[in-house]
A and B are shown apart, each in its own frame.
Chain A
């Protein structure tokens, strides 16, 4: 996969992640229940659990911030931006995996939006690590 293709894939995944995390952040602050396909109240149960906040900050807002910061690293054309992007991708993947475990094993309810974000973050983490393993291409000649 070319460097350009990895970058395009990362942008697509970031856009999906921003949309999902943005929606969950919006319903959190609007006091609404997320629309959960198939009903069952899984999203509501997850979003109203004690795990929906991290140190008083909604996890959805943290996700939104994470995706936004990854977007900023994609704009950067220096080595450190790629490495920071990979770091954020890996942290996002690890924490999403933990939250998915919590949903299945502790809360006993699944929020489809959270799963969507976890899957997105998994692919994004892989893309960002693959990108970080490559040397940063020199700036394009004008």
Chain B
């Protein structure tokens, strides 16, 4: 009897020890699992950071120079591009940090310059808006100051072709100077010194006032009309050059050039 009881007790102890060992093993496995998943999460965070960096670098680095000669021989006056006597004027309101303005600059402006501006049919005026962030105003001021030297459009084009993520702090004096120095004949130092002048203040202020007058709240937005007359909004569904040209033709139609 005593022997049986001792055996049962030994078995119970052994079973309890086994259960305890299994529980300990499960706990160890779960702990190891949590460590592995935490490691995976940290690794994932690092990979996402790499992807974000690649995404941002890819956004601005592929096409940093203007097509050669894009604006050569085209008359410029301040923010206006083209013959002052052109029968029609297109007003583009844009923010230097706006990615769609950059797309318009890359894709549509070359087409407009070659097909409309060089033909004397159209004058383009840029209306600088600066609502995205402080970098927008710094860039717009520098563009206007470079514009006083007759190269506004070259500078604007370089700005857009070297655009990075908005409000990421990339627009600083060094960036703006490096762009200005790439334009032959531009005195970058003079532009830097002149960007805070009352003249530039006035131009920015007039652009803001005009945007309010026309109810412009996003960029790029367009106005078009006969030169010297009040322009009307030009609604475009796409920044594809063909689609934009079609929308423009619908407004200036066969009257272009005369």
Binds A, one of B48-56, B171-179, B223-231, B249-257: B48-56
Query: CB distance B165 to A94 under 8 Å?
Result: no
Partner pick for A133 among B34, B51, B54, CB 8 A cutoff: B34
Query: CB distance A106 to B165 under 8 Å?
Result: yes
Q: Is B7 an interface residue (CB 8 A)?
A: no
Interface size counted on chain A using CB atoms at 8 A: 29
- Map CB proximity to B onto A38-74 as digits: 1 under 8 Å, 0 otherwise: 0001001100111101111000000000000000000
Given that A48-B103, A50-B58 are known contacts, is A133 also in contact with B40, CB under 8 Å in the complex?
Answer: no
CA distance A87 to B44 in the complex (A): 6
Q: Is A26 an interface residue (CB 8 A)?
A: no
Q: Which residues of A contact B52 (CB under 8 A)?
A: 95, 98
Partner pick for B51 among A44, A45, A50, A91, CB 8 A cutoff: A91
Instruction: Give the interface residue-count category, chain B.
Output: 20 to 34
Q: Is B47 an interface residue (CB 8 A)?
A: yes
Q: Which residues of A contact B218 (CB under 8 A)?
A: 108
Query: CB distance A106 to B166 under 8 Å?
Result: yes
Please report which residues of chain B, range 40-73, place their CB below 8 angstroms from some CB of chain A when the two chains form the complex: 40-41, 43-45, 47-48, 51-52, 54-55, 58-60
Q: Which residues of A contact B33 (CB under 8 A)?
A: 132-135
- Map CB proximity to B onto A72-105 as digits: 1 under 8 Å, 0 otherwise: 0000000000010011001100110010001001
CA distance A83 to B32 in the complex (A): 12
Q: Which residues of B contact A44 (CB under 8 A)?
A: 238
CA distance A135 to B218 in the complex (A): 53
Closest residue of chain B to A136 (Cβ to Cβ) is: B33
Given that A48-B103, A51-B55 are known contacts, is A132 also in contact with B37, CB under 8 Å in the complex?
Answer: yes
Query: CB distance B103 to A49 under 8 Å?
Result: yes
**Distance in Å from the Cβ of A67 to the closest Cβ of chain B?**
16
Closest residue of chain A to B29 (Cβ to Cβ) is: A135
Query: CB distance B44 to A49 under 8 Å?
Result: no
Query: CB distance B238 to A54 under 8 Å?
Result: no
CA distance A94 to B42 in the complex (A): 11
CA distance A81 to B32 in the complex (A): 16
Query: CB distance A86 to B29 under 8 Å?
Result: no
Q: Which residues of A contact B128 (CB under 8 A)?
A: none
Given contacts A51-B55, A98-B48, A135-B33, could you give 20 more A-B pairs where the C-beta distance is less than 8 Å?
A48-B103, A48-B239, A49-B100, A49-B103, A50-B59, A50-B99, A54-B55, A56-B58, A83-B36, A86-B40, A87-B40, A90-B41, A90-B45, A90-B48, A91-B47, A94-B45, A95-B48, A107-B99, A132-B40, A133-B37
- Going nearest first, the 7 A-B pairs with the smallest beta carbon separation are A94-B48, A90-B44, A50-B59, A91-B44, A87-B40, A91-B47, A95-B51
